[in-house]
Structure 1
Amino acid sequence: MNKKLYFLLLALLAFANVNAQMLDPAKWTTKIEKKSANTFLLTFDGTIEKEWHLYSQFTPDGGPLPLEVIFKNAKGNFTLVGKAKESKTRTAFNDIFEVNETFFEKKAQITQEIKVTNPNFTKVEVELNYQVCKDVCINMEKKFTFVLPVNTLSSALNPETIITETAVTETTVLDTVKKDSLQPSLGTSNVVIADTPAAIEKTANKSEKRGLLSIFFLAFLGGLAALMTPCVFPMIPMTVSFFTKQSKTKAKGISNAIIYGVAIILIYVMLGFLVTWVFGADALNALSTNVWFNVIFFVLLVVFAASFLGAFEIMLPNSWANKVDNQADRGGIIGILFMALALAIVSFSCTGPIVGTLLVEAASNGGIAPVVGMFGFSLALALPFMLFAMFPGWLNSLPKSGGWLNTVKVFLGFLELALAFKFLSNADLVLQLHLLEREVFLAIWIAIFGVLALYLFGKITLPHDSPLPHISVGRLMMGLLVLTFTVYLIPGLWGAPLKIISAFPPPMEYSESPFGIGNSSRSNSAVILPEGAKIGPHGIVVFDDYEKGLAYAKTISKPIMLDFTGYACVNCRKMENNVWSDIDVLKLLKNEVVVISLYVDDKRELPKEQQFVSKKTGSEIETIGDKWTDFMISTYKTNTQPLYVLTDLEGNSLNQEKPTISYVGVTEYESWLKSGIANFKK
Structure 2
Amino acid sequence: MKKLITLLLVCVSTFAVHAQMNDPVQWTSEIEQISDTEFNLIYKAEIQTKWRLYSQYLGEGSGFPTEFMYDSIQKANGLKLVGKNQESKGITKFDKVFQAELTYFTGTATFTQKVEVTDPNMTSITSEVIYQSCDDEKCVLGDETFTFAIPGRETKNSLQQSKIFDPVSWSGSVNKLSDDEYELVMDATVEEKWHLYSQKSYGDDGPFPTEFSFIDAGKGYETIGKVQESETTEVFDKVFNKKISFYEGKGTFTQKIKVTDKNAKEITAEVVFMVCDDEKCLPPTAKEIKFDLTKATTAKQSEKKGSSRSLWATFFIAFGLGFGVLLTPCVFPMIPMTVSFFTKQSKNRSTGIRNAILYGLFIIVIYTGLGTAISALFGSNVMYDISTGVTFNLIMFVVLMIFAFSFMGAFEIMLPNSWMNKVDQQSNRGGIIGIFFMALALAIVSFSCTFPIAGTALLEAATVGGITPIISMLGFSCAIAIPFALFAIFPAWMNSLPKSGGWLNTVKVFLGFLELAFAFKFLSMVDIVLETHFLDREIFLAIWIAIFGTLALYLFGKIQLPHDSPIKNLSVGRASLGMLVLAFTLYMVPGLWGAPLKMISGFPPPMNGFSESPYGVGYKKRVQQASVNYSEAKHKDAPKLEEEVSHEGPHGIIAFLDYEKGLEYAKKVNKPVMIDFTGVTCVNCRKMEEQVWTEGNILNMIKNDVVLISLYADNRTKLPESEQYESKLTGNNIRTIGDKWKEFQQVHYNTNAQPLYVIQDVNGNDLTEAVAYTPDPEEYEKWLKDGIDKFNKKK
**TM interval, short-chain normalised:** 0.7 to 0.9
RMSD after superposition: 3.8
Of 710, 715, 718, the residue aligned with 1:597 is 710
Of 292, 295, 311, the residue aligned with 1:163 is 295
**What is the Cα deviation at residue 418 of structure 1?**
1.1
**What is the Cα deviation at residue 131 of structure 1?**
0.7
Given that residues 541 and 590 in structure 1 are in contact (C-alpha distance below 8 angstroms), is that contact kept between their aligned partners in structure 2? Answer: yes
**Cα deviation digits, residues 99-141 of structure 1 (max 9, x gap):** 3333233333332222345788787553211111223222344
Structure 1 counterpart of 2:469: 370
Q: Counting strand residues as a fraction of each chain, which structure ranks higher? A: 2
CA distance in structure 1 between the aligned counterparts of 2:576 and 2:778, rounded to whole angstroms: 47
Task: Give yes or no for the alignment of 1:57 onto 2:169.
Answer: no
**Cα deviation digits, residues 17-75 of structure 1 (max 9, x gap):** 99994322222333456655654433333333333222221364443221111235435
Residue ranges of structure 2 left out of the alignment (5+ in a row): 1-158, 298-305, 630-640
Structure 1 counterpart of 2:727: 615
**What is the Cα deviation at residue 659 of structure 1?**
4.1
Q: Aligned with 1:41: secondary structure?
A: strand
CA distance in structure 2 between the aligned counterparts of 1:417 and 1:626, rounded to whole angstroms: 47
Structure 2 counterpart of 1:514: 614
1:304 and 1:244, CA in 2 relative to 1: closer, same or farther beyond 3 A? same
Letter in 1 for 2:612: E
Letter in 2 for 1:136: K
Letter in 2 for 1:612: Q
Of 403, 423, 433, the residue aligned with 1:304 is 403
Task: Give yes or no for the alignment of 1:25 onto 2:167.
Answer: yes
Given that residues 342 and 356 in structure 2 are in contact (C-alpha distance below 8 angstroms), is that contact kept between their aligned partners in structure 1? Answer: yes
Letter in 2 for 1:441: F
1:88 and 1:625, CA in 2 relative to 1: closer, same or farther beyond 3 A? same
CA distance in structure 2 between the aligned counterparts of 1:623 and 1:162, rounded to whole angstroms: 36
CA distance in structure 2 between the aligned counterparts of 1:396 and 1:147, rounded to whole angstroms: 69
1:527-542 equivalent positions in 2, closer than 5 A: 528=628, 530-531=641-642, 532=645, 536-537=649-650, 540-542=653-655
Given that residues 301 and 357 in structure 1 are in contact (C-alpha distance below 8 angstroms), is that contact kept between their aligned partners in structure 2? Answer: no
Structure 2 counterpart of 1:571: 684
Structure 1 counterpart of 2:563: 465
CA distance in structure 2 between the aligned counterparts of 1:45 and 1:18, rounded to whole angstroms: 33
**What is the Cα deviation at residue 282 of structure 1?**
5.6
1:172-571 equivalent positions in 2, closer than 5 A: 209=309, 215-281=314-380, 283-285=382-384, 287-290=386-389, 292-456=391-555, 462=561, 464-466=562-564, 468=566, 472-473=570-571, 475=574, 477-510=576-609, 511-519=611-619, 525=625, 528=628, 530-531=641-642, 532=645, 536-537=649-650, 540-571=653-684
Given that residues 615 and 651 in structure 2 are in contact (C-alpha distance below 8 angstroms), is that contact kept between their aligned partners in structure 1? Answer: no
Given that residues 229 and 251 in structure 2 are in contact (C-alpha distance below 8 angstroms), is that contact kept between their aligned partners in structure 1? Answer: yes
Given that residues 623 and 648 in structure 2 are in contact (C-alpha distance below 8 angstroms), is that contact kept between their aligned partners in structure 1? Answer: no
**What is the Cα deviation at residue 387 of structure 1?**
3.8
**What is the Cα deviation at residue 236 of structure 1?**
1.9
**What is the Cα deviation at residue 291 of structure 1?**
5.1
Given that residues 22 and 638 in structure 1 are in contact (C-alpha distance below 8 angstroms), is that contact kept between their aligned partners in structure 2? Answer: yes
CA distance in structure 1 between the aligned counterparts of 2:161 and 2:576, rounded to whole angstroms: 66
**Cα deviation digits, residues 284-335 of structure 1 (max 9, x gap):** 4555445554444334323432433445544334343333333333434443
Q: Aligned with 1:441: secondary structure?
A: helix
Letter in 2 for 1:220: F
Given that residues 561 and 596 in structure 1 are in contact (C-alpha distance below 8 angstroms), is that contact kept between their aligned partners in structure 2? Answer: yes
1:669-680 equivalent positions in 2, closer than 5 A: 669-680=780-791
Q: Which segment is superposed worse, 352-361 or 241-250?
A: 241-250
CA distance in structure 1 between the aligned counterparts of 2:575 and 2:600, rounded to whole angstroms: 24
Letter in 2 for 1:54: L
Overall identity of the aligned pairs, in %:
54
Given that residues 60 and 286 in structure 1 are in contact (C-alpha distance below 8 angstroms), is that contact kept between their aligned partners in structure 2? Answer: no
Q: Aligned with 1:452: secondary structure?
A: helix
**Cα deviation digits, residues 474-523 of structure 1 (max 9, x gap):** 55554444333222212101012222212311222231211123346969
Q: Aligned with 1:583: secondary structure?
A: coil
1:25-174 equivalent positions in 2, closer than 5 A: 25-31=167-173, 38-58=180-200, 60-61=202-203, 62-74=205-217, 78-117=221-260, 124=267, 126-134=269-277, 135-142=279-286, 144=288, 162-163=294-295
Structure 2 length as normaliser, TM-score? 0.68
Q: Aligned with 1:162: secondary structure?
A: helix
Residue ranges of structure 1 left out of the alignment (5+ in a row): 1-16, 149-160, 166-203
1:242 and 1:36, CA in 2 relative to 1: closer, same or farther beyond 3 A? closer
Q: Which segment is superposed worse, 80-89 or 658-667?
A: 658-667
CA distance in structure 2 between the aligned counterparts of 1:217 and 1:263, rounded to whole angstroms: 20
1:33 and 1:394, CA in 2 relative to 1: closer, same or farther beyond 3 A? closer
Number of aligned residues: 609
**Cα deviation digits, residues 337-378 of structure 1 (max 9, x gap):** 332222112211221111112212333444544334323322
**What is the Cα deviation at residue 403 of structure 1?**
4.5
1:489 and 1:556, CA in 2 relative to 1: closer, same or farther beyond 3 A? same
Given that residues 60 and 100 in structure 1 are in contact (C-alpha distance below 8 angstroms), is that contact kept between their aligned partners in structure 2? Answer: no
1:454 and 1:557, CA in 2 relative to 1: closer, same or farther beyond 3 A? same
1:485 and 1:46, CA in 2 relative to 1: closer, same or farther beyond 3 A? closer
Given that residues 136 and 663 in structure 1 are in contact (C-alpha distance below 8 angstroms), is that contact kept between their aligned partners in structure 2? Answer: no
**Cα deviation digits, residues 229-250 of structure 1 (max 9, x gap):** 3322222221121122123444
Given that residues 407 and 465 in structure 1 are in contact (C-alpha distance below 8 angstroms), is that contact kept between their aligned partners in structure 2? Answer: no
Letter in 1 for 2:330: C
CA distance in structure 2 between the aligned counterparts of 1:528 and 1:383, rounded to whole angstroms: 67
Q: Aligned with 1:239: secondary structure?
A: helix
CA distance in structure 2 between the aligned counterparts of 1:589 and 1:67, rounded to whole angstroms: 33
Given that residues 53 and 133 in structure 1 are in contact (C-alpha distance below 8 angstroms), is that contact kept between their aligned partners in structure 2? Answer: yes
**What is the Cα deviation at residue 528 of structure 1?**
2.4
CA distance in structure 2 between the aligned counterparts of 1:623 and 1:554, rounded to whole angstroms: 27
CA distance in structure 1 between the aligned counterparts of 2:435 and 2:235, rounded to whole angstroms: 40
Q: Which segment is superposed worse, 593-602 or 536-545?
A: 536-545
Of 738, 748, 755, the residue aligned with 1:642 is 755
CA distance in structure 1 between the aligned counterparts of 2:404 and 2:467, rounded to whole angstroms: 27
Letter in 1 for 2:283: N
Letter in 2 for 1:326: Q
Given that residues 642 and 663 in structure 1 are in contact (C-alpha distance below 8 angstroms), is that contact kept between their aligned partners in structure 2? Answer: no
Q: Aligned with 2:253: secondary structure?
A: strand
CA distance in structure 2 between the aligned counterparts of 1:289 and 1:634, rounded to whole angstroms: 41
CA distance in structure 2 between the aligned counterparts of 1:145 and 1:261, rounded to whole angstroms: 52
Given that residues 59 and 101 in structure 1 are in contact (C-alpha distance below 8 angstroms), is that contact kept between their aligned partners in structure 2? Answer: no
Considering only CA atoms, is the larger Rg found in Structure 1 or Structure 2? 2
Structure 2 counterpart of 1:169: none
Structure 1 length as normaliser, TM-score? 0.78
CA distance in structure 2 between the aligned counterparts of 1:358 and 1:563, rounded to whole angstroms: 42
CA distance in structure 2 between the aligned counterparts of 1:442 and 1:380, rounded to whole angstroms: 33
Q: Which segment is superposed worse, 573-582 or 613-622?
A: 613-622
1:215 and 1:448, CA in 2 relative to 1: closer, same or farther beyond 3 A? farther
Letter in 2 for 1:84: V
Q: Counting helix residues as a fraction of each chain, which structure ranks higher? A: 1
